[in-house]
Structure 1
Amino acid sequence: MSTNEEKKEEESEGKKIIAIRGIDERLYKEAARISREIGWTIGELINQSLKLFLATFPALTKKVAESTEQLVVKPTKEFIEAAKEAVKRPLLDYYLISDLEEVVLSKKDLEELDKPLVITSVQKVIVDRDVDFDLFDSKVLYLQFVDEVVVPSNYPKVRLYTKLKHVKKVSFT
């Protein structure tokens, strides 16, 4: 297939060729090697890597903001530099649930957690009726890249929405 035909095929699938300046050649070569090993294209690997970064960045920004005792609304140049340094070492220890079809959270499940919970790339998350919002709020850091979240009808909507990122649908039961 010619390059023009490949480009047209990618664009028709909602994908296009993107050039990114400043990529470390050593990192790119290592990513390309890994993508070949696992049978992915480099684009698929980069997409998954970006998805993982986007899933963990809110936890990182929250911890950096707490450590500097200020609320970071928009990352400043200084904040971004601090975040780059922070990525080199773990700042926030949390449980991560990802890449499942469905997750059901009960009161007992959340009460047993000794650190925050992040759920990402799950099709459906169901929060049992026995989980009050204060418990949910104190244990769940955020849910991201979730198709549907089902929660009890008494949850305060605005406070709930602050925990959701890239969620397609919220249902109240």
Structure 2
Amino acid sequence: MSNNEDDKNKKTVTIRGVDKSIYEKAVITARETGRTVGEVVNQSLTTFLGLTSKAGNTVNQVVQGVKETGKSFVQGFEEAKKDLVVISDVEELTVTRDEILQAGKPISFRNIKRLTLNIDQDTLNFVDSIIGVDELIIPPTINKIILLQKCKFVKKISTIQ
């Protein structure tokens, strides 16, 4: 996404009544994960609103969803401390086997609308995680069960035709 398009989707806001200690935790989390405070807050709001907006959710379903999301967030935070390459906040990306191998470290793909992996099963070992991807496109030779163990918040998986 170009900067102009990205700027159109963002707005400077002031929110009254934010607990100072919660904001400070967001700042610390942003620093430790290499993200901006805005990215951390956007992800938190997106997750929370996604959990609460589903019609027919009972209180127990929302509570369970919040627990699972919290667990995923903590896992993501721990991943940020790993020695890996993080590729994030891209509209559309196609990656090949050679590109992944040349990175020299495990790779985490995050917040990508459409991610195409032109890789083989062995190269999948160099993918640490795939988080927050709207559409993941893979070759038909990739074992989806092994792949899904690396995925969180992936909306759709398709195979390359």
Instruction: Tell me the TM-score range normalised by the shorter chain.
Output: 0.5 to 0.7
Q: How does 1:28-67 map to 2 (within 5 A)?
A: 46-48=41-43, 57-58=75-76, 60=78
CA distance in structure 1 between the partners assigned to 2:137 and 2:158 by the alignment: 5
Distance 1:56 1:113, change over 3 A: farther
The 5 A counterparts of 1:114-129 are: 114-128=104-118
Given that residues 143 and 165 in structure 1 are in contact (C-alpha distance below 8 angstroms), is that contact kept between their aligned partners in structure 2?
yes
Task: Please tell me the root mean square deviation across aligned C-alpha atoms, in Å.
Answer: 3.6
Q: What's the offset of the Cα at 1:172?
A: 1.3
5 Å-filtered alignment, 1:1-173, equals 24=21, 27=24, 46-48=41-43, 57-58=75-76, 60=78, 91-128=81-118, 131-136=119-124, 138-173=125-160
Say which one has the larger Rg. 1
TM-score, normalization: structure 2? 0.56
Aligned residues between the structures: 112
C-alpha displacement at 1:59, in angstroms?
6.7
Quote the Cα distance in structure 1 between the aligned partners of 2:122 and 2:77.
Answer: 19
Secondary structure of 1:92's match?
Answer: coil
Partner SS for 1:111: helix
Q: Secondary structure at the match of 1:153?
A: coil
Amino acid in the other structure paired with 2:107? L
SS of corresponding position for 1:24: helix
Distance in 2 separating the partners of 1:125 and 1:150 = 6
Does the aligned pair in 2 maintain the 1:94–1:116 contact within 8 Å?
yes
- Separation in structure 2 between the aligned mates of residue 26 and residue 59 of structure 1, nearest angstrom: 17
| Partner secondary structure for residue 115 of structure 1 | coil
Alignment correspondent of 2:6 = none
Distance 2:83 2:146 in 1: 23
Deviations 1:3-27 (A, max 9, x none): xxxxxxxxxxxxxxxx998x62772
The runs of 5 or more residues in structure 2 that have no matched partner are 1-16, 28-36, 48-69
Cα offset, 1:58, TM superposition: 3.9
CA distance in 2, matches of 1:164, 1:171: 14
> 2:40 and 2:101 mapped to 1: Cα distance?
36
Structure 1 spans left out of the alignment, 5+ residues: 1-18, 32-41, 62-89
Give the alignment's TM-score, normalised by structure 1.
Answer: 0.52
| Counterpart residue identity of residue 60, structure 1 | E
CA contact (8 A) 1:59 1:141 kept: no
